[in-house]
């Protein structure tokens, strides 16, 4: 089974529009070769065993319909920098100053202007890579041009929740988890391109999950005061015992509500011990696994797909099956009256005490 794994944090970078002398075009620079035939030949030379006609058709689609590619090609006429704003209307600026463009044009950026660290600053020629923030609104289109062939915007911090009753925009904002859960939904009479991309879909969902985790870390990092991190006993004891508070650095406290954090695992261990002390040892240790051949999974697959192509279906069917099993044991009392129960963080393993 093909897999896409990550470890740590994902970094995405963007280089300059043009390569230096005696250097070959690569990555973003491939769009500026000039000749469509030469561009297709260069792409096929970088990635072998590809069908040239498919590559040629795809690059024509990007040149004709992708808004980002069109803006990049227009900016090549000038030797200055181009900035893709992280937000259309930065905080504190006039609302109409950063309206979406209505014609194909590029605003030239004044040299020396300060930009937000989440903005994408691209140069005509530059040796340094510009890091693309995973929370930038153009991140999805830049990283997955085939999935978002027109250059449409992805997730950003400014998306507001919509009231499903009246269709009006609310005051609360959409978080990354809700946004990508919405993108992965199966809807009647509507085809979702993401669900048909197989291995690329796997990479997309793993990458977006890393973005969700990054957003959670951002919130915890910049809202330590709300979490009252200075009140944690172990942190104060560590500073008092070491005697040198200068070596601590910037401490970021992960609360027990963050799944997988040390305090989260510590709380689960303490709860398990308290259950044993109060009710005695558990009677059942249940590990529930998923069968990819379940009928509920097979009937939701598209033509030509297998279960390994749709991890979203596997996860949802597994979750429903697990809830049915828990209801059978806990509510229906299949093994007797349940006195206590504890699920782990991923709801796969549980401990039970039954009388």
Tally of CB atoms within 10 A around 24: 11
Q: Is residue 3 part of a domain?
A: no
> Which of 145, 83, 143 minimizes the C-alpha distance to 117?
83
Residues 81 and 193 in one domain: no
Q: Is residue 41 part of a domain?
A: yes
Give the pLDDT confidence score for residue 326 in this predicted structure: 86
Q: Is residue 1 part of a domain?
A: no
Q: Which one of 94, 125, 153 terminates a domain?
A: 153
Cα-only R_g, the chain: 26
Say if CB 279 and CB 354 are below 8 A apart: no
Place of tokens 């020629």: 125
Residues 342 and 321 in one domain: yes
CA quadruple 165, 167, 169, 175: dihedral sign = positive
Residues 246 and 266 in one domain: no
Q: Is residue 4 part of a domain?
A: no
Q: Is residue 129 part of a domain?
A: yes
Concatenated DSSP letters of 287-305:
E----TT-HHHHTTSPTT-
Give the pLDDT confidence score for residue 206 in this predicted structure: 87
Residues 31 and 76 in one domain: yes
Residues 134 and 29 in one domain: yes
Which domain, by its residues, includes 343?
A: 254-354
Residues 241 and 258 in one domain: no
Give how many domains the chain has, as a whole number.
4
Residues 149 and 166 in one domain: no
Residues 145 and 20 in one domain: yes
Q: Is residue 83 part of a domain?
A: yes
| Consecutive 10-residue averages of pLDDT for the chain (355 residues) | 72 79 81 84 86 90 86 67 67 48 38 57 73 82 88 85 84 89 87 88 88 85 74 60 58 79 84 84 81 92 89 90 88 83 59 58
Tally of CB atoms within 10 A around 98: 14
Its pTM stands at 0.76
- Distance in Å from the first CA to the final CA of the chain: 43
Residues 46 and 99 in one domain: yes
Residues 51 and 84 in one domain: yes
Q: Which one of 125, 153, 181 terminates a domain?
A: 153
Q: CA–CA separation, 234 vs 257, rounded Å?
A: 17
Q: CA–CA separation, 35 vs 299, rounded Å?
A: 46
DSSP 8-state class, residue 187: B
Residues 26 and 100 in one domain: yes
pLDDT digits (tens, 9 = 90+) for 244-283: 556 556 667 788 888 878 888 888 888 888 888 888 887 7
Q: Is residue 7 part of a domain?
A: no
Q: Which one of 122, 153, 184 terminates a domain?
A: 153
Q: Is residue 245 part of a domain?
A: yes
pLDDT digits (tens, 9 = 90+) for 72-111: 777 665 566 777 777 665 445 544 444 444 433 333 333 4
Residues 211 and 332 in one domain: no
């Amino acid at each position: 089974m093909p897999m896409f794994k990550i470890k740590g944090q994902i970094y995405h970078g963007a280089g300059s529009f043009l390569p230096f002398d005696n250097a070959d075009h690569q990555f973003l620079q491939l769009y500026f070769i000039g000749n469509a035939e030469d561009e297709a030949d260069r792409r096929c030379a970088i990635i072998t065993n590809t069908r040239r006609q498919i590559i040629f058709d795809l690059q024509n689609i990007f040149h004709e319909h992708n808004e980002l590619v069109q803006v990049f090609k227009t900016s090549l006429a000038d030797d200055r920098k181009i900035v893709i704003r992280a937000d259309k209307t930065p905080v504190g600026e006039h609302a109409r100053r950063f309206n979406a463009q209505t014609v194909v044009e590029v605003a030239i950026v004044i040299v020396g202007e300060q930009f937000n660290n989440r903005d994408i600053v691209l140069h005509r020629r530059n040796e340094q890579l510009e890091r693309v923030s995973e929370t930038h609104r153009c991140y999805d289109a830049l990283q997955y041009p085939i999935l978002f062939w027109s250059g449409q915007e992805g997730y950003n911090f400014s998306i507001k929740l919509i009231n499903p009753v009246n269709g009006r925009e609310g005051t609360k904002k959409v978080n990354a988890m809700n946004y990508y859960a919405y993108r992965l939904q199966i809807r009647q009479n509507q085809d979702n391109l993401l669900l048909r991309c197989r291995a690329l879909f796997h990479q997309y969902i793993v990458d977006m999950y890393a973005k969700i985790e990054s957003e959670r870390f951002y919130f915890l990092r910049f809202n330590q005061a709300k979490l009252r991190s200075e009140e944690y006993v172990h942190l104060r004891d560590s500073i008092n015992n070491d005697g040198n508070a200068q070596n601590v650095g910037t401490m970021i406290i992960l609360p027990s509500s963050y799944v997988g954090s040390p305090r989260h695992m510590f709380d689960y261990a303490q709860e398990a011990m308290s259950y044993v002390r109060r009710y005695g040892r558990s009677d059942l240790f249940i590990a529930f696994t998923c069968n990819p051949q379940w009928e509920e999974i097979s009937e939701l697959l598209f033509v030509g797909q297998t279960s390994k192509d749709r991890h979203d279906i596997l996860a949802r069917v597994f979750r429903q099956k697990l809830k049915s099993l828990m209801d059978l044991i806990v509510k229906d009392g299949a093994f007797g009256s349940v006195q206590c129960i504890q699920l782990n963080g991923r709801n796969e393993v549980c401990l039970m005490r039954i009388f």
